[in-house]
Chains A and B, each alone.
Chain A
Amino acid sequence: MKGYRKYFGKKILWFFITLIAALILNFILPRLMPADPVSAITGKMASGMTDASAVQEIYKRYEAEFGTNKPMLTQFFIFLKNLMHGDLGTSFSQYPRKVSDIISSAIGWTICLQLPAILVGWLLGNLLGALAAYIRKGFDKVLLPVALFMSNVPAFGMAVTLLVLFAVKLKIAPIAGGYAFDMIPNMSWRFVRSVITHYQLPFWSIVLVSIGGQAIGMRSMSIYELNADYVKYARFLGIKDRKIVGYVFRNAMLPQVTGLAMSIGTMIGGALVAEIIFSYPGLGSTMYSAVTAADYPLISATTLIITIMVLVVTFLLDIIYGFIDPRVKAAQFDS
C-alpha cells in the first residue's frame, strides 16, 4: 500500500502545482500585451458602438471586475477570488451575459462529444493495432499504411470531409449545430433524436482521427510484447494461445493509458477545431466566436476551462493507471 500512497500523493501534488501554473499563465499572458490591455480591448470592442456612454460603461465595468488599476499581485488575487465564486466576468460580445453562463451552456456539449469520441477512438485504435500485431502479414501491410495516413489527416480535415460527404452530398446527416435550429432544448424524444443525429458526424470525425495514431502505438507495443519471454514460457507450459494473447494485450494496453493521458492535451486542440467546422455548440465554437468578436473575457475563460478539463482528465487517467498496472507500484518501491 505504501507504494500506491506515494504514487497518488505525488500525482495529487503535481495536479495542484500544474493547476496553479496554468492559472498564473492564463492570468499573466494577456496582461503582457504591449499596449494598455483595457483600452486596447475596449477600443477594439467599442469600435462598433457609437454610444460613448456604452464604451464608458464597459470600461468601468471591466476595471471593477478585474481591478486593472490595481497592482498585478492584487489583480491576481481578485482573479483567484472571482474564480472561486465561479465568476469569470462579463462577456463583451454578448453583453451583459455572464461568461460563466456562456461557458456552462457550452461545456456539457464539449464533454459529451469529446470524451466519448476520444475514448472510442482510443479503444478502436487499440483493438485494430492489437489485431494488426497479432495477424500481421497482409492485414498488417494494408492496415498500417492506412492507419498512418489516417492519423495524419488533421481533425478539421476529417470533419470537413465527413461533412461534405454525408451532409452535403448524401444528405443523410445534418450540416451544422448540436440540434435542429428550430428547436428549443428540452427533454422530448424529438429533441433527443435531433441531438443524436447531429452528434454523429462530429463524433466520428474525432474517432477516425484518433484511431490511426493509437493503432500504430498499440501495434508496435503488442509486437514488442508478443516477442516477450513470458509468451514463449506460457506456451511451453501448455497455456492456450487465446489466453496468452489476453496477457499480451493487457500488458500492451496498459501503457497506452498513459499514452492517452499524455496526448489528450494535443488531441483536444484538434477536436475543438473540429467543433467549429460543425458549428457544434461546445467550447470550440464558443472560443471561435469569442476570437472573432475579440471578446477577451470569454477567450480567457474558455482557455482556462479547457486547461482545467485536460488537467483533471490527465490526473484521473494517471490514478486509474496506478491502480491497474502493478508495474507502477513496483517502480514506486524501487525509487
Chain B
Amino acid sequence: MKNTIRQVFHSSKFLVGFIIFVAILLTVWIYPFFNPGNPLEMIGVGTFAKPGTYVSLYDALNTRTETLRLPDADHKRVSYLLSDADRVSMLEWFDIMDIDVSGLDATDTDALLDLWFKNYDPSVKPKGMTQAKRNFYKRLDKSVQQIRMADTLKVMHPEEGELVERSSVTKTDYVNVGDVANVKALPLGTDNFGRDVLKELVSATGTSIIIGLIAGIVATLIGLTLGLLAGYVGGLVDDIIMFITNIFTVIPSFVLLILISYSIGQEQRGATVVALVIGLTSWTWTTRSVRSQVISLRSRDHVNLSKLSGHSLVRIIVTDILPYIASYVVMAFILQVSSGILSEAQLSLLGLGPKTTVTPTLGLMMNWAMLYSAHTNGSWWAYFPVILTITLISFSLNLMNTGLDQVFNPTLRD
C-alpha cells in the first residue's frame, strides 16, 4: 500500500495534477478568511466594473496631500486621457488636410499633439466635411487643450442648493493610498450585478467541486454496486443489469439530465439536487469497468479459497475483491468528478442549473456572463476566469487519472 502510494507520487503527471488540484482546494478554503462575507452581495451599482483597485474619490479628497513633481506626469496623463478613437480622428484630419504624417506613430502622444497644435485651425472648412464633424473637431481641440493647460480642478461642494467651492486640486497633488479610508481591491472586477467576481469565483469553485464530488460519489456507488452484483453474482442478475447499463450507455446522459432537471422544476433545483441528478445519470462507465474487473477476479484462486472457507458474500467482496479493483474505482471516481463539474456548467448554460439565488456555481457564473453579453462587450473578467477554473480543475483531475493509469496499467507506460 505504502509502496503503491509512493509509486503514484513518483508519476510526474499525477504529481502535477495533484498540486494544481490541491492549490485550487486551498484557495477555496483559505480565501474566505481574507475576504469574508456573502459572495453574492452586490457591492457595485451598475455592471461589469473593470478589474483593479478602487479608491474612494471622496476620501481621497479629504486626505492630506503631498506635492510631487514627477517629470513624466503630464505626458502620462495626456496619453491616458487621449482615446484611440480621438487619435484616429486626428489622423483623419491630417489626411484631409494633406499633411504628411509619414514617420508619425499614433501612439506617440507628444508627437501627435505637437503636430495637431501646429496644424489645426478651427476656421478652416475642409470641402465635404459636415458641420457636425467640424464641431466635433473643435470640441476635440478644446478638450485636448484643457488636458494640457489647466493647472487646477475646482471641487464644488453642494450645500443647500448652492454650489460652494470647497477646495482645488492641482496637478501635483498626491495622496498615499494607505491614508485613504476606503480602498477596495477588485482583482477581477465586478459582474453584471455588481458583485465581486473573485469572491464569487472562489465560492463558486467550492460549490462546483462539491457538486462534482457528490455526483462522483453517487455515480461511483451506483456503478460499484451494480458492477459488483453483475460481475460476482452473474447469471440473470448480470443479464438484467447489463441490459439496463447498455441502454443507458447509448442514450446520451446529457439528454436525460435535461429532461430530469426540467421535470424537477426551478424551485426544487438546489445545488445538491443537481449534483444527485448528475450522479444518477453517469454511472454506466463505472458499472462496466467494475463488472469486467470482477469477472476476471471471480475465478482467481484466492477468491475460490475464500468461497470454500464459507466466507459470506459481503466478506468476500470486501476482502477479496474490493482491494483489487480499488485503483479502477478511484480512477473512475476522479473522472466522474471532473465530468460532473462540466455537466453542471453545461446545464446551467442551458438555464437548467441550480436555482440562482442561493450559491453561485461556475456554470451559473458563466450563464450570467453570457446572458449579459460579457463576451461581446469586452468584460473578459466575468467569464474567462470561470472557463480557466473549469479547465484547470478538469485538467488536474485528468492528469491525476492518467498518472494513476500509467502506474496501474504498465502496458501504457512509455
Which residues of chain A are near B338, meaning CB under 8 Å?
Answer: 152
User: Is A188 an interface residue when CB atoms closer than 8 A count as contact?
Assistant: no
User: Is B112 an interface residue when CB atoms closer than 8 A count as contact?
Assistant: no
Compute how far the CA of A29 lies from the CA of B346 in the bound complex, rounded to whole angstroms. 20
Q: Which of B251, B257, B387 contacts A21 (CB 8 A)?
A: B251
Contact B253 A154 (CB under 8 A): no
User: Is A266 an interface residue when CB atoms closer than 8 A count as contact?
Assistant: yes
Compute how far the CA of A69 lies from the CA of B213 in the bound complex, rounded to whole angstroms. 41
Q: Which of A40, A154, A164, A262 contacts B390 (CB 8 A)?
A: A154
User: Is A331 an interface residue when CB atoms closer than 8 A count as contact?
Assistant: no
Compute how far the CA of A269 lies from the CA of B257 in the bound complex, rounded to whole angstroms. 10
Which residues of chain A are near B268, meaning CB under 8 Å?
Answer: 34
Interface size class of B (residues with CB under 8 A): 35 or more
Contact B376 A291 (CB under 8 A): no
Q: Which of B258, B398, B411 contacts A299 (CB 8 A)?
A: B258
User: Is A157 an interface residue when CB atoms closer than 8 A count as contact?
Assistant: yes
Contact A152 B387 (CB under 8 A): no
User: Is A215 an interface residue when CB atoms closer than 8 A count as contact?
Assistant: no
Compute how far the CA of A60 lies from the CA of B77 in the bound complex, rounded to whole angstroms. 69
User: Is A156 an interface residue when CB atoms closer than 8 A count as contact?
Assistant: yes
Contact B259 A148 (CB under 8 A): no
Contact B412 A224 (CB under 8 A): yes
Which residues of chain B are near A40, meaning CB under 8 Å?
Answer: 265
Contact B349 A291 (CB under 8 A): no
Contact B398 A152 (CB under 8 A): yes
Which residues of chain A are near B378, meaning CB under 8 Å?
Answer: 168
Residues A161 and B387 in contact in the complex (CB < 8 Å), given A26-B259, A148-B398, A262-B249: yes
User: Is B345 an interface residue when CB atoms closer than 8 A count as contact?
Assistant: yes
Q: Which of B350, B375, B394, B398 contacts A164 (CB 8 A)?
A: B375
Contact B263 A32 (CB under 8 A): yes
Contact B351 A291 (CB under 8 A): yes
Which residues of chain B are near A156, meaning CB under 8 Å?
Answer: 345-346, 349, 366, 387
Which residues of chain B are near A152, meaning CB under 8 Å?
Answer: 338, 391, 394-395, 398
Contact pattern, B 233-269, Cβ under 8 Å of A = 1, otherwise 0: 0000000000000110111111111111011110010
Which residues of chain A are near B259, meaning CB under 8 Å?
Answer: 25-26, 29-30, 299-300, 303
User: Is A276 an interface residue when CB atoms closer than 8 A count as contact?
Assistant: yes
User: Is A316 an interface residue when CB atoms closer than 8 A count as contact?
Assistant: no
User: Is A67 an interface residue when CB atoms closer than 8 A count as contact?
Assistant: no
User: Is A253 an interface residue when CB atoms closer than 8 A count as contact?
Assistant: no
> From residue 86 to 110 of chain A, which have CB atoms closer than 8 A to chain B?
none
Which residues of chain B are near A157, meaning CB under 8 Å?
Answer: 387, 390-391
Main secondary structure of the interface of A (DSSP, over half): helix
User: Is A114 an interface residue when CB atoms closer than 8 A count as contact?
Assistant: no
Contact B250 A154 (CB under 8 A): no
Q: In whole Å, how far is B265's beta carbon from the nearest beta carbon of chain A?
A: 7
Compute how far the CA of A166 lies from the CA of B246 in the bound complex, rounded to whole angstroms. 42
Q: Which of B247, B252, B264 contacts A266 (CB 8 A)?
A: B252
> From residue 255 to 311 of chain A, which have CB atoms closer than 8 A to chain B?
262, 265-266, 268-270, 272-273, 276-277, 287-288, 291-292, 296, 299-300, 303, 306-307, 310-311
Which residues of chain A are near B399, meaning CB under 8 Å?
Answer: 148
Compute how far the CA of A154 lies from the CA of B251 in the bound complex, rounded to whole angstroms. 21
User: Is B402 an interface residue when CB atoms closer than 8 A count as contact?
Assistant: yes
Compute how far the CA of A270 lies from the CA of B247 in the bound complex, rounded to whole angstroms. 21
Compute how far the CA of A26 lies from the CA of B258 in the bound complex, rounded to whole angstroms. 10
Q: In whole Å, how far is B39's beta carbon from the nearest beta carbon of chain A?
A: 21
Contact A287 B258 (CB under 8 A): yes
Compute how far the CA of A302 lies from the CA of B395 in the bound complex, rounded to whole angstroms. 31
User: Is A195 an interface residue when CB atoms closer than 8 A count as contact?
Assistant: no
Compute how far the CA of A238 lies from the CA of B349 in the bound complex, rounded to whole angstroms. 57
Residues A265 and B254 in contact in the complex (CB < 8 Å), given A148-B399, A288-B351: yes
User: Is A328 an interface residue when CB atoms closer than 8 A count as contact?
Assistant: no
Q: Which of B260, B387, B391 contacts A149 (CB 8 A)?
A: B391
> From residue 68 to 84 of chain B, which have CB atoms closer than 8 A to chain A?
none
Which residues of chain A are near B391, meaning CB under 8 Å?
Answer: 149, 152-154, 157
Compute how far the CA of A220 lies from the CA of B402 in the bound complex, rounded to whole angstroms. 11
Which residues of chain B are near A21, meaning CB under 8 Å?
Answer: 247, 251
Q: Which of A161, A224, A273, A306 contacts B255 (CB 8 A)?
A: A306
Q: Which of B252, B256, B346, B376 contacts A273 (CB 8 A)?
A: B346
Q: In whole Å, how far is B268's beta carbon from the nearest beta carbon of chain A?
A: 8
Contact A273 B349 (CB under 8 A): yes
User: Is A14 an interface residue when CB atoms closer than 8 A count as contact?
Assistant: yes
Compute how far the CA of A291 lies from the CA of B268 in the bound complex, rounded to whole angstroms. 16
Compute how far the CA of A39 lies from the CA of B30 in the bound complex, rounded to whole angstroms. 47
Contact pattern, B 317-354, Cβ under 8 Å of A = 1, otherwise 0: 00000000000000000000011001101100111100
Which residues of chain A are near B253, meaning CB under 8 Å?
Answer: 265-266, 269
Which residues of chain A are near B366, meaning CB under 8 Å?
Answer: 156
Compute how far the CA of A273 lies from the CA of B349 in the bound complex, rounded to whole angstroms. 7
Which residues of chain A are near B254, meaning CB under 8 Å?
Answer: 265-266, 268-269, 272
User: Is A237 an interface residue when CB atoms closer than 8 A count as contact?
Assistant: no
Compute how far the CA of A144 lies from the CA of B395 in the bound complex, rounded to whole angstroms. 12
> From residue 361 to 414 of chain B, which have CB atoms closer than 8 A to chain A?
366, 370, 375-376, 378, 380, 383-384, 387, 390-391, 394-395, 398-399, 402, 411-412, 414
Compute how far the CA of A273 lies from the CA of B350 in the bound complex, rounded to whole angstroms. 7
Contact A164 B380 (CB under 8 A): yes
Q: In whole Å, how far is A245's beta carbon from the nearest beta carbon of chain B?
A: 18
**Chain B interface (Cβ < 8 Å from any Cβ of A):** 246-247, 249-260, 262-265, 268, 338-339, 342-343, 345-346, 349-352, 366, 370, 375-376, 378, 380, 383-384, 387, 390-391, 394-395, 398-399, 402, 411-412, 414
Q: Which 5 A-B pairs have the closest CB atoms?
A: A269-B254, A265-B252, A157-B387, A152-B394, A152-B395
Q: Could you list 10 examples of A-B contacts with CB < 8 Å?
A: A18-B247, A34-B268, A154-B345, A156-B346, A157-B387, A168-B376, A270-B346, A296-B262, A299-B262, A307-B251
Known: A149-B395, A164-B375. 9 other contacts (CB 8 A): A17-B247, A40-B265, A148-B402, A153-B387, A154-B345, A154-B387, A277-B375, A307-B255, A310-B252
